[in-house]
């Protein structure tokens, strides 16, 4: 066991404790968390900074607004949208709506959901069910990202995102996250998504993991996962650096989605990025950081 | 810089904590282990006073602390008598004085004291050495008296005889005691006692003789502690000061030594009590032996006239507050368990301190029943919650509904348990309602969001941490230490600070990253 610990150390792997004590505590000032912990503020600041983000359709702050939810959705005449808690994390409370049928709305996984059920979901969000510490929250309704062709092949019912770890305004590690049947349209590994390591130079997929186990093919689509190159990679890295700079945080995870029509867009910034990205890249973050001379 | 500061704070806390701890263990003799058996003696004094009504005062001696016994508690029942207690700084005797201006014809006064045997001898024994004022043997004054007075004639001859057989104070005393033991009716002793009517006891006579050869001696009155006695009577013993210790002569072994089995009550050849007024008094003394575990002993260590360090103990608080703290002081143990489990082992739980509260409730239900109850209530709650989900309620009313269901479930379980006599001691007063409700809510949420596996894993983790906390908090030794030595809280803080700076891997991360640490050739190839 202790030899195992030594091996982890030799490989420069970052543990949660070390991430918190050695990276987050010294480089992320508390006062700047507000910007990243609230997705509405993140979005507004990003727009001001000229970073592309999925369009915000509406925010819902009070239970009373729910009565007009049908109108709000109809007004936008859109059948594709995403509902999420402004202060959520790990994919919690995210509902991806892909279309409409006579019976109601169509979720990413094909399930039909009625308007009252959506209202109920939003009222749960408002009550703080998904927010850290259970504080009151706001629900966001935003544009649903339309997958690029590559992702249509790779992902199952949902939108993949690219997670960049930015340390001292330099991208140090990247990972593509793919939704699966189990993850319900969300790409978060915690929800059951697949993590795919990306090379930093051209964004090529290298290794893939599902639940911390290496895989080579998507279990739901059978698509081979390795050897693909991300389009617009320079733009992805650029958004990542700009977002980290905007957030004034020294160690962050930036989530970026690729839209068929609008290209790379900033989804959210994370002040406490997960450490599984190391498994997907088969390299420790500390080793990567020191090899980059940071 | 920060690490230095932390090292400093941690070592300071540990130092202070262990210093107080060590002092109380080694100097004040607080028991380290909960099951250490300690003898305690309960002594009772009942004074029955009868006579014509009028003003009345009773003065009597009270038991005193000696090398082997510590007085830990005492109380007086004396109705409307004025009560004062005094301690004579010279002899160390303690006197109670009860007085009343118009006492009735029959009055009864009570005293009760509890004394514990101490394991380390109090070294304060020699503090009260008497001053010798009598003429010393072989001095001119003594020789003159020897010619004039018949008692000094006898005394001189007796000392001559003993002196011949002895070389130092110890052997003189030994020879004297064994001589008197063998010849209690020696006419020289009678001569001495006749001329000195204040020498009412043999012990007083012995002290008289010993003082003339310059040996510090005293009459000490007390109770031989062998077994319980409803009507104990005082014995007067001679004690001499040798090598800074008060020793007594032991007839069986014919040796001098400290006597543990003697409860010293007062020193000096003076009567036990005096009555001022018209009443006659009868005083009855009863002694009873108790064997209690040392925690109970600590409970009695409340004597505020003693060392300030006793006061640190929670046993100086009122009993109901004590009860609260005897539980509160365990919580830090649970907190450390949670810290270790989460930061060092890496077990996921729902809610940070939820496991501690669940563990506290296990204390009342006992582990097995507690776990069963926990699982039953949580599963019932989950079923109920999934039904409520269909009704689409607002969050707070929904939580309230779940909570009410939990209360109902608890009530039903208690009813069933009581009526079937499965478990009559079922006590769920501490079962954390609110915590269980939140737990049910969070499990079901996690279940919906991330699937049954994730949810059940975290639920099992929570239960596991709760069980471990329970085992730690319920460990006799640990809980005894925490409750008896609250200064250990400082060490607990130091530990949490240390864990708070632990930047190493969690045990679970070793498992999580196991795929990476294996040689790459074992990984699947594309
Ligand atoms: N606008 C969107 N369109 C499509 N999918 C989305 C959208 N927003 C979020 N998602 C899905 O949900 C996942 C998590 O979203 P994110 O905004 O990063 O929230 P969280 O803070 O919970 O991680 C994304 O990886 C993506 O799969
Ligand atoms: Mg995210």
Which ligand lies nearest the alpha carbon of A266?
Answer: 1
Average pLDDT over residues B464-472: 94
Count the neighbouring beta carbons within 10 Å of the beta carbon of residue B211: 20
Mutate one of A12, A15, A274 to test the B interface: name it (highest B CB count within 10 A). A15
- The residue with tokens 């994390």 is A89
Q: Give the pLDDT of residue B36.
A: 59
Question: For residue B430, what pLDDT band results from cuts at 50, 70 and 90?
Answer: low
Beta-bridge partners for A265: A257
Residue predicted with more confidence, B410 or B463? B463
Residue predicted with more confidence, B163 or B314? B163
The alpha carbon of residue A124 is apart from the nearest alpha carbon of chain B, in Å, by 6
Q: How many residues does chain A have?
A: 294
**Residue B160 class from Cβ within 10 Å (0-12 exposed, 13-18 middle, 19+ buried)?**
exposed
Among A286, A159, A153, A140, residue whose Cα is nearest residue A224 = A153
Identify which of A41, A155, A161 to mutate to test ligand 1's pocket (most ligand atoms within 8 A of the CB): A161
Kindly calculate the radius of gyration of chain A based on its CA atoms and give it in whole angstroms.
19
Ligand 2 centroid distance, CA of A95 (Å): 13
Distance from CA of residue B18 to its chain's centroid? 19
Give the chain B residue nearest A190 (alpha carbons). B450
Q: Is the pLDDT of residue B290 over 60?
A: yes
Q: Give the pLDDT of residue B305.
A: 44
Q: Give the pLDDT of residue B97.
A: 92
The alpha carbon of residue A279 is apart from the nearest alpha carbon of chain B, in Å, by 6
The alpha carbon of residue A173 is apart from the nearest alpha carbon of chain B, in Å, by 16
Question: For residue B526, what pLDDT band results from cuts at 50, 70 and 90?
Answer: very low
Q: Give the pLDDT of residue B92.
A: 83
Express the helix, strand and coil content of chain A in percent, nearest 5 each: 35, 25, 40
Q: Give the pLDDT of residue A230.
A: 95
- Could you please state the CATH topology (level 3) that the domain comprising A2-52+147-291 is classified under: D-amino Acid Aminotransferase; Chain A, domain 1 (3.30.470)
Question: Residue A187 in contact with residue A179, Cβ under 8 Å?
Answer: yes
Question: Residue A218 in contact with residue B526, Cβ under 8 Å?
Answer: no
Q: What are the two backbone dihedrals, phi and then psi, of residue B287, each rounded to the nearest 5 degrees?
A: -125, 145
Cβ-nearest to A17 among B343, B515, B526: B343
From CA A207, how far away is CA B92, in angstroms rounded?
85
- Could you please state the CATH topology (level 3) that the domain comprising A56-143 is classified under: Dna Ligase; domain 1 (3.30.1490)
Q: Give the pLDDT of residue B244.
A: 82
Condensed to tens digits (0 to 9), the pLDDT of residues B232-273 reads 889 999 999 888 888 999 888 888 888 888 888 999 889 999
Q: Give the pLDDT of residue B320.
A: 60
Q: Give the pLDDT of residue B303.
A: 46
In the DSSP assignment, the letter for residue A54 is: P
Question: For residue B304, what pLDDT band results from cuts at 50, 70 and 90?
Answer: very low
**Residue A135 class from Cβ within 10 Å (0-12 exposed, 13-18 middle, 19+ buried)?**
exposed
Q: Give the pLDDT of residue A243.
A: 96
Q: What CA–CA distances, in Å, run from B489 to B14, B311, B332, B486?
A: 10, 16, 7, 6
The alpha carbon of residue A176 is apart from the nearest alpha carbon of chain B, in Å, by 18
Among A79, A101, A83, residue whose Cα is nearest residue A92 = A83
From CA B90, how far away is CA B35, in angstroms rounded?
38
Q: What is the percent of chain B with per-residue pLDDT over 90, rounded to a whole number?
A: 19
From CA B264, how far away is CA B267, in angstroms rounded?
8
Query: Which residues of chain B are at the A interface, by a Cβ-Cβ cutoff of 8 Å?
Result: 343, 346, 392, 394-396, 445, 449-451, 454, 501-507, 509-510, 512-517, 520, 523-526
Do B451 and A209 count as a contact with CB atoms less than 8 A apart? Answer: no
Condensed to tens digits (0 to 9), the pLDDT of residues A261-284 reads 999 999 999 999 999 999 999 999
Exposure letters B87-122 (e unless 16+ CB within 10 A, then b): eeeebbbbbbbbbbeebeeebebebebbbbbbeeee
> Please, which residues have CB within 8 angstroms of residue B511's CB and are 6 or more apart in sequence?
none
Ligand 1 centroid distance, CA of A275 (Å): 18
Q: What is the percent of chain B with per-residue pLDDT over 70, rounded to a whole number?
A: 86
Q: What CA–CA distances, in Å, run from A74 to A77, A99, A102, A141, B521?
A: 5, 12, 14, 13, 55
Condensed to tens digits (0 to 9), the pLDDT of residues A51-96 reads 999 999 999 999 888 888 888 888 766 788 999 999 988 888 899 8
Question: Residue A82 in contact with residue A141, Cβ under 8 Å?
Answer: yes
Q: Give the pLDDT of residue B291.
A: 62
Q: Is the pLDDT of residue A194 over 90?
A: yes
Q: Give the pLDDT of residue A182.
A: 83
Among A212, A108, A168, A204, residue whose Cα is nearest residue B517 = A212
Residue A140, helix vs strand vs coil: strand
From CA A127, how far away is CA A116, in angstroms rounded?
16
DSSP run (H or E) holding A85: strand A81-85
The alpha carbon of residue A191 is apart from the nearest alpha carbon of chain B, in Å, by 5
In the DSSP assignment, the letter for residue A157 is: S
Cβ-based contacts of A63 with chain B (< 8 Å): 394
Average pLDDT over residues B265-287: 89
Condensed to tens digits (0 to 9), the pLDDT of residues B109-152 reads 888 888 877 755 444 445 556 678 888 888 888 888 888 888 88
Cβ-nearest to B395 among A13, A129, A279: A129
| Strand-by-strand arrangement of the B37-50 sheet | B69-77, B106-117, B37-50, B280-293, B229-232
Cβ-based contacts of A119 with chain B (< 8 Å): 392
For chain A, domain boundaries: 2-52+147-291, 56-143
Determine the Cα angle at B393 with ends B390 and B397, to 5°.
135
In the DSSP assignment, the letter for residue A276 is: T
Widest CA span of chain B, in angstroms? 125
Average pLDDT of chain B is: 82
Beta-bridge partners for B37: B293
Least confident window among B176-185, B255-264, B296-305? B296-305
Average pLDDT over residues A105-127: 89
From CA B477, how far away is CA B471, in angstroms rounded?
11
Question: Residue B47 in contact with residue B108, Cβ under 8 Å?
Answer: yes
CB pairs under 8 A between A and B: 94
Among B433, B428, B300, residue whose Cα is nearest residue B365 = B428
What is the distance between the terminal CA atoms of chain B, rounded to a whole angstrom?
A: 49
From CA B404, how far away is CA A67, in angstroms rounded?
29
Residue A161, helix vs strand vs coil: strand
Give the chain B residue nearest A188 (alpha carbons). B450
Question: For residue B423, what pLDDT band results from cuts at 50, 70 and 90?
Answer: low
Atom of ligand 1 nearest to the CA of A183: 27
In the DSSP assignment, the letter for residue A147 is: B
Sign of the dihedral through C-alpha A64, A69, A71, A76: positive
Do B526 and A226 count as a contact with CB atoms less than 8 A apart? Answer: yes
Cβ-based contacts of A18 with chain B (< 8 Å): 503-505
From CA A135, how far away is CA A37, in angstroms rounded?
12
From CA A195, how far away is CA A215, in angstroms rounded?
10
Among B314, B298, B316, B326, residue whose Cα is nearest residue B29 = B298
Cβ-based contacts of A215 with chain B (< 8 Å): 524
Beta-bridge partners for B61: B95
Condensed to tens digits (0 to 9), the pLDDT of residues A29-51 reads 999 999 999 999 999 999 999 99
Question: Residue A105 in contact with residue A119, Cβ under 8 Å?
Answer: no
Do A182 and B392 count as a contact with CB atoms less than 8 A apart? Answer: no
- The CATH number of B37-130+218-301 is 2.60.40.2250
pTM for the whole thing? 0.67
Q: Is the pLDDT of residue B521 over 60?
A: no
Question: Residue B217 in contact with residue B126, Cβ under 8 Å?
Answer: no
From CA B192, how far away is CA B198, in angstroms rounded?
11
From CA A184, how far away is CA A95, in angstroms rounded?
8
Question: For residue A221, what pLDDT band results from cuts at 50, 70 and 90?
Answer: confident
Identify which of A97, A188, A240, A253 to mutate to test ligand 1's pocket (most ligand atoms within 8 A of the CB): A188
From CA B117, how far away is CA B121, in angstroms rounded?
10
Question: For residue B38, what pLDDT band results from cuts at 50, 70 and 90?
Answer: low
Cβ-nearest to B394 among A15, A123, A192: A123
Q: Give the pLDDT of residue A108.
A: 80
Q: What are the two backbone dihedrals, phi and then psi, of residue A32, each rounded to the nearest 5 degrees?
A: -95, 0
Ligand 1 centroid distance, CA of A257 (Å): 8
For chain B, domain boundaries: 37-130+218-301, 134-215, 322-511
Question: Residue A258 in contact with residue A174, Cβ under 8 Å?
Answer: no
Ligand 1 centroid distance, CA of A267 (Å): 7
Average pLDDT over residues B155-174: 88
From CA A166, how far away is CA A289, in angstroms rounded?
10
Q: What is the percent of chain A with per-residue pLDDT over 70, rounded to a whole number?
A: 98
Do B505 and A17 count as a contact with CB atoms less than 8 A apart? Answer: yes
Do B515 and A279 count as a contact with CB atoms less than 8 A apart? Answer: yes
Query: Ligand 1 pocket by C-beta < 6 Å: which residues?
Result: A 54, 82, 84, 88-92, 94, 96, 142-145, 158-159, 161, 179, 186-188, 255, 267-268
- The residue with tokens 């008296």 is B145
Question: For residue B299, what pLDDT band results from cuts at 50, 70 and 90?
Answer: very low
From CA A187, how far away is CA A267, in angstroms rounded?
12
Atom of ligand 1 nearest to the CA of A255: 18
Express the helix, strand and coil content of chain B in percent, nearest 5 each: 50, 20, 25
Average pLDDT over residues A187-197: 89
Ligand 1 centroid distance, CA of A71 (Å): 24
């Amino acid at each position: 066991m202790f030899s195992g610990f030594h091996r982890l150390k030799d490989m420069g792997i970052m543990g949660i404790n070390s991430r918190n004590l050695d990276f987050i505590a010294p480089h992320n000032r508390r006062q700047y968390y507000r910007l990243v912990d609230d997705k509405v503020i993140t979005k507004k600041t990003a727009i001001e900074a000229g970073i592309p983000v999925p369009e915000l359709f509406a925010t819902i702050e009070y239970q009373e607004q729910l009565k007009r939810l049908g109108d709000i959705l109809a007004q936008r005449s859109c059948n594709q949208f995403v509902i999420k808690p402004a202060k959520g994390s790990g994919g919690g409370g995210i509902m991806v709506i892909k279309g409409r049928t006579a019976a109601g709305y169509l979720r990413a996984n094909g399930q039909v959901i009625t308007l009252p059920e959506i209202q109920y979901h939003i009222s749960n969000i408002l009550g703080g069910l998904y927010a850290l510490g259970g504080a009151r929250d706001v629900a966001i309704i935003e544009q649903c990202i339309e997958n690029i062709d590559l992702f249509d092949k790779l992902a199952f019912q949902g939108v993949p995102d690219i997670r960049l770890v930015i340390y001292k305004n330099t991208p140090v590690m990247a990972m593509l996250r793919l939704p699966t049947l189990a993850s319900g349209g969300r790409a978060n590994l915690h929800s059951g998504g697949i993590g795919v390591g990306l090379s930093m130079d051209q964004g090529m997929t290298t290794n893939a993991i599902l639940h911390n186990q290496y895989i080579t093919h998507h279990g739901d689509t059978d698509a081979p996962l390795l050897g693909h190159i991300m389009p617009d990679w320079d733009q992805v890295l650029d958004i990542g650096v700009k977002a980290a700079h905007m957030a004034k945080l020294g160690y962050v995870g930036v989530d970026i989605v690729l839209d068929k029509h609008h290209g790379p867009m900033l989804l959210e910034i994370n002040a406490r990025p997960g450490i599984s990205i190391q498994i997907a890249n088969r390299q420790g973050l500390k080793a990567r950081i020191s090899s980059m001379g940071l | 810089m920060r690490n230095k500061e932390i090292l400093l704070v941690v070592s300071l806390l540990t130092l202070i904590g262990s210093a107080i701890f060590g002092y109380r263990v080694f100097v004040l003799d607080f028991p380290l282990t909960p099951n250490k058996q300690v003898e305690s003696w309960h002594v009772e004094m009942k004074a029955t006073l009868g006579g014509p009504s009028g003003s009345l005062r009773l003065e009597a001696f009270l038991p005193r602390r000696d090398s082997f016994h510590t007085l830990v508690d005492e109380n007086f029942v004396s109705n409307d008598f004025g009560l004062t207690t005094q301690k004579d700084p010279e002899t160390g005797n303690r006197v109670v004085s009860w007085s009343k201006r118009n006492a009735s014809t029959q009055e009864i006064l009570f005293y009760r004291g509890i004394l514990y045997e101490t394991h380390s001898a109090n070294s304060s024994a020699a503090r009260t050495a008497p001053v010798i004022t009598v003429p010393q043997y072989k001095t001119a004054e003594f020789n003159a008296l020897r010619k004039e007075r018949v008692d000094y004639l006898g005394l001189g001859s007796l000392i001559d005889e003993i002196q011949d057989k002895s070389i130092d104070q110890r052997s003189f005393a030994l020879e004297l005691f064994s001589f008197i033991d063998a010849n209690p009716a020696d006419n020289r002793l009678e001569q001495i006692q006749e001329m000195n009517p204040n020498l009412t006891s043999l012990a007083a006579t012995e002290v008289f003789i010993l003082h003339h050869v310059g040996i510090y001696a005293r009459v000490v009155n007390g109770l031989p502690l062998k077994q319980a006695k409803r009507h104990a009577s005082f014995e007067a013993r001679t004690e001499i000061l040798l090598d800074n210790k008060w020793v007594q002569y032991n007839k069986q072994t014919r040796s001098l030594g400290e006597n543990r089995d003697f409860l010293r009550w007062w020193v000096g050849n003076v009567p036990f009590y005096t009555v001022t007024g018209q009443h006659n008094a009868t005083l009855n003394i009863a002694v009873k032996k108790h064997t209690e575990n040392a925690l109970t002993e600590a409970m009695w260590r409340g004597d505020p006239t003693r060392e300030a360090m006793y006061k640190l103990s929670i046993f100086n608080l009122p009993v109901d507050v004590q009860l609260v703290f005897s539980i509160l002081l365990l919580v830090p143990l649970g907190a450390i368990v949670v810290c270790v489990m989460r930061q060092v082992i890496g077990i996921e739980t729902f809610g940070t301190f939820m496991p501690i509260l669940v563990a506290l409730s296990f204390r009342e239900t006992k582990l097995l029943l507690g776990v069963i109850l926990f699982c039953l209530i949580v599963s019932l709650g989950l079923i109920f919650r999934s039904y409520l989900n269909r009704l689409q309620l607002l969050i707070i009313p929904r939580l309230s509904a779940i909570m009410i269901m939990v209360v109902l479930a608890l009530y039903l379980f208690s009813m069933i348990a009581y009526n079937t006599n499965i478990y009559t001691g079922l006590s769920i007063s501490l079962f954390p309602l609110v915590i269980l409700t939140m737990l049910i809510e969070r499990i079901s949420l996690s279940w919906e969001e991330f699937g049954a596996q994730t949810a059940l894993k975290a639920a099992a983790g929570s239960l596991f941490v709760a069980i471990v906390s329970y085992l730690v908090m319920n460990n006799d030794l640990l809980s005894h230490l925490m409750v008896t030595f609250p200064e250990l809280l400082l060490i607990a803080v130091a530990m949490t600070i240390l864990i708070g700076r632990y930047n190493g891997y969690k045990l679970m991360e070793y498992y999580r990253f196991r795929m990476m640490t294996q040689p790459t050739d074992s990984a699947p190839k594309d």
